[in-house]
Structure 1
Amino acid sequence: MKITVMGASGLVGTQLVEKLRQMDIEVVPASLSFGVNSVTGEGLTAVISGADAVIDVTNTALFGDDSALAFFKSSTRNLLNASADAGVRHYLALSVVGTPRLVESDYFRAKMVQENLIRAARRPFTILHSTQFFEFISGVINLGADGNGFRLPTASVKPIAADNVAEMLAELAVGAARNDTVEISGPERFGLDEIARMYLTANEDTRQVISDDSVPYYGVELNDDTLLPLNDRRIGSMRYGDWLYRSMAS
């Protein structure tokens, strides 16, 4: 079996490539650092040719105005077209739990467009919705920076280790396309304010976290279940406290 991973240089992509190789699967890593540009289409034909599956774990750091939308529109269309031309039997993409409920945000509206393009292509696909990664919790905390502390909502989240997401992507990639969305989360439920306090304490950061449900998340006011999985849910094995301990020790 041959699988192309687009976004192979990122947090999940690097771990995914390694896991697939451990499964004795032929993997073609693709990203800008490998000379492949999904936005312009440069190099796509070569890396997708002969692939049984394509896994799209691309992302953009551009969150404002229409930048994310332009990225996901161009990247997804190019990847889908190249996959169709190559006869790829399974297109698998990583997205975010809660995306349909967060479309007031420019970024999540762009992710919703990405998902809709995949569904509209009428090719075998699976979309994996993941909750927030442990590795990105610090970024979520900084969304609530307020003077010498933080203001964050109490809305619930079930964050997950990126390694567990890579495991699930590898498992899905070698199976049949679901033509649907699968969701994955971590094993524990926290309030955003609560997990911020855990992170700051572990890092010996004495700044205070104030609970404030009026604070938006990427521009969206949250309900308690906005960021929680609803559908065909899988549970990652890594607990947040264990991950914190390991990350502090490394």
Structure 2
Amino acid sequence: MNDTVLAVLVAAVLAGLGGLLVPRLVARVPEPVPKPVGSPDGAGPDAGEPGSVATQVEPPKTRYADIAGRPGLGWRSAVVSAVSGALLGAATGLDWSLLWLVPLTPVAVALSVIDWHTRLLPRVVVVPATLAAIVAVTAVGLATGERESLVRALVAMVLARSFFWVLWFVRSAGMGFGDVRLAAPVGLVLGWAGWGELAIGVWASFVLFVVPVLVVLVVRRDRSLLKRAVPFGPFMCAGALVGLVWGTALAGRIWG
């Protein structure tokens, strides 16, 4: 058994097992305190929804416990996590980066599920995951002498978060602050892999977001779809996966 096959199997099994815990993680997220729709996106503890200039109180969101109790959520999350882990293992081999990529995979699945149903990316999940990833990346970078990769990862984290912060600042009605927070770990892991991976990962997130919307718009011929709020977190996570798995090849084709 070569190293790549071993990495695929280990990453798939561990990520899949983590995926089975997604319902439990979702159920443990505390419910946000209701706030006016017109308040700033970054003001609440779980800001992640698009902003609004309205003044009425938000309609009730789907409870995290109800999301966690959806039939089949555990095995579906396990399958998605296992497949994602296998792709990451095939792309990296037995690399130190699996130390943070494998645990982050089911967390990304959980955040995608939450964001899809609530348009929220809870800070109580994103921030600890980000801090844990920073610690792991820093420890590996210093222990293995990969200081260039470490510096690139930290710089990429700042750049990615700053980029999404600008998008949020310019038009907070179209992007929640939760997406800004999520950009930090996304930038960190993509930056460790390389600048090309970072660029492809961020670019892919927007492509994956826009293309399905345009297809539905053309099929239904309903322009009102452009005004509907669509969660961006799942597409950001999917874009990060694209960048990590195929970023090197795509960047080589595009930039040579």
Q: Same fold (TM over 0.5)?
A: no
Q: Which structure features the higher share of strand residues?
A: 1
TM-score (norm 2): 0.35
TM-score (norm 1): 0.36
